[in-house]
Amino acid sequence: MTTDTMDLDIVAELAALRAQVARLTAKDEICDLVTTYARSCDVGNDPVLLRPLFTDDATWTCKGFGTFHGGGDGCALGLKAVAGEKIWWSLHNMISVQITFDASGEEATGFWYLWEAATIPNEHTGEAEACWIGGTYDARFRRDGGTWKFSAIELKLNMASSYSEGWVKKRWPDGTPSQPYFLDLKPGETYLWRQGGREGSRLVTEAEAAESPKKVTAFTVAEPGLQAICGCGYSKSKPFCDGSHLNLKYDWSLLGKSAPDQTGPGDTA
Ligand code: FES
């Protein structure tokens, strides 16, 4: 090997090392960005802290919480509103962050898990309730003026479970149509169950049943005692819960007055 060839090898090796250090440095900066985002969320989604973390065209979305556009301003203000209405306190744990860089090295995609202890208002009483929230994040990052920022964040919720009951009994908060109703039913009586509607699937009165008779099932029970009645509308053993609700995605918009019509698969008006 000549001296010239050795020099060329060293130059190539140095270039590769430089590229690797640059990638590791960028990854470290992006992980810092994720941590800064978590810390900003844990002080009530502070818009002053959140705003500079996003590019001017950034979006933030989570089914149920909403989609926010308008870069740092839009995302920060949207998140601030979420904190005021739905999350009163939180401790975000961002776990197992994975970063993949585009060929340019100026953009990247990311994935990580969310495991969050939170205080949310109880749907019925409005009182503070301890809750575990779990999900995953998908994000895009862009280097903007030498600083890594979020250009898009999508949070996919997997559970928001009451701390006192746990996710086996209650994967989602009370009051959502994706939960069964546990009712003490009597043999010999005829009950009317209606699928879908603004309040989810539930037992209805004769007058309510008359409003949408095609959606109503009349049934009796053979034995006295508690029965799990489907509230999600997706049971294959309607009107009884068969656990199908456990496979549904949580949708915060199902709560409250703005709840959309919920229709089970194959159901007609
Ligand atoms: S609530 Fe359990 S299947 Fe519908």
Question: Which of 193, 203, 237, 245 has the most ligand 1 atoms within 8 A of CB, as the residue to mutate?
Answer: 245
Helix or strand run (H / E) with residue 78: helix 71-85
Helix, strand, coil in percent for the chain, rounding step 5: 30, 35, 35
Q: How far is the CA of 188 from the centre of ligand 1 (A)?
A: 24
Q: Whose CA is nearest to atom 2 of ligand 1?
A: 241
Residue 2 has phi, psi (to 5 degrees) of -80, 165
Closest atom of ligand 1 to CA, residue 178: 1
pLDDT at 262: 34
Using only C-alpha atoms, what is the Rg of the chain? 25
Q: How far apart are CA 174 and CA 241, in angstroms?
A: 16
Residue 180 has phi, psi (to 5 degrees) of -75, 155
Q: How far is the CA of 160 from the centre of ligand 1 (A)?
A: 17
**Environment class of 190 (CB within 10 Å of its CB; exposed 0-12, middle 13-18, buried 19+):** exposed
Helix or strand run (H / E) with residue 37: helix 3-41
pLDDT at 200: 67
Can you read off the two tokens belonging to residue 153? Answer: 């964040």
Q: How far is the CA of 24 from the centre of ligand 1 (A)?
A: 47
Q: How far apart are CA 150 and CA 161, in angstroms?
A: 28
What dotted CATH number matches 3-169?
3.10.450.50
pLDDT at 246: 65
Q: How far is the CA of 168 from the centre of ligand 1 (A)?
A: 14
Q: How far is the CA of 179 from the centre of ligand 1 (A)?
A: 6
Closest atom of ligand 1 to CA, residue 244: 3
Are 129 and 122 a contacting pair, CB within 8 Å?
yes
**Environment class of 233 (CB within 10 Å of its CB; exposed 0-12, middle 13-18, buried 19+):** buried
CA atoms within 13 A on the CB side of 15: 6
Cβ neighbours of residue 179 closer than 8 Å, sequence gap 6 or more = 170, 172, 231, 232, 245
pLDDT at 35: 98
pLDDT-flagged residues of the chain (< 70) = 1, 3, 64, 123-124, 173-179, 197-200, 246-269
What secondary structure letter does DSSP report for 105?
A: S
pLDDT (tens digit per residue) in 236-263: 899 998 877 766 654 444 443 333 333 3
What secondary structure letter does DSSP report for 258?
A: T
How crowded is residue 153: how many other Cβ atoms within 10 Å of its Cβ? 23
pLDDT at 152: 97
Q: How far apart are CA 129 and CA 59, in angstroms?
A: 29
Chain centre distance of CA 155 = 5
- Residues within 6 Å of ligand 1 by CB: 179-180, 230-232, 234-235, 241-245
Q: How far is the CA of 231 from the centre of ligand 1 (A)?
A: 5
Closest atom of ligand 1 to CA, residue 179: 1
pLDDT at 106: 94
Cβ neighbours of residue 9 closer than 8 Å, sequence gap 6 or more = none
pLDDT at 197: 57
Q: How far is the CA of 233 from the centre of ligand 1 (A)?
A: 6
User: Residue ranges of the domains in the chain?
Assistant: 3-169, 181-254
Q: What is the pTM of this model?
A: 0.67
